[in-house]
Amino acid sequence: MIRQATIKDLRRIVEMSEKFYPMTPYINLAPFNPEAAGSLAMLLIESGIMMVAEVDGEVVGMVGLVVTPFPFEPGLIGAYEIIWWVEPGKQAKGIGRALLESIDAQAKARGCSYVHMVCMANSPEQAAGLYFMNGYEHTEMSFTKRL
């Protein structure tokens, strides 16, 4: 079951974030900060999009996006992915796809004209394929330089 996250999910969201973060290239930029993860999750629950996937009463996946104006046109509102994660033991069961597909209605309800999802340098190949199958277009590639 896919549903909107609530404050009751906060602890579990932080736990999953702690598993997700070391798998990202950003672990080389800064260590995981549970307080910051909790604050971000609260922001997404209250004013963004934060969806969770439940299997047998346990939260096993999440997708979170911040809702904000487009930088070059403030009247155009978009939803920008912050996190999309499914517990490794629950992957390849359609949960990630269901989370991805849950975003559109949530984004439209918040006045968004578009959704921006990302693939990190180490994202599995199937992530991009799932984006294309769900109507996304390749819009950019980003790079980070540590100073």
**Who contacts 58 (Cβ-Cβ below 8 Å, separation ≥6)?**
none
Q: What is the DSSP string of 29-75?
A: TS---HHHHHHHHHHHHHHSEEEEEEETTEEEEEEEEEEEEETTEEE
**Who contacts 22 (Cβ-Cβ below 8 Å, separation ≥6)?**
32
Cα(131)–Cα(118) distance, integer angstroms: 9
pLDDT of residue 122: 77
Other beta carbons within 10 Å of 125: 8
pLDDT of residue 145: 82
- The tokens of 117 are what? 């999802």
pLDDT of residue 141: 83
Cα Rg, the chain, nearest whole Å: 15
pLDDT of residue 127: 82
Cα(90)–Cα(3) distance, integer angstroms: 17
Q: Can you identify the CATH homologous superfamily of domain 2-133?
A: Gcn5-related N-acetyltransferase (GNAT) (3.40.630.30)
pLDDT of residue 129: 85
pLDDT tens per residue, the chain (147 residues)? Answer: 999 999 999 999 999 999 999 988 889 899 999 999 999 999 999 999 999 999 999 999 999 999 999 999 999 999 999 999 999 999 889 999 999 999 999 999 999 999 999 988 877 777 888 899 999 999 988 888 888
Instruction: Render the burial of 69-100: b for 16+ CB within 10 Å, e for the rest.
Output: eeeeeeeebbbbbbbbbbbeeeeeeebbebbb
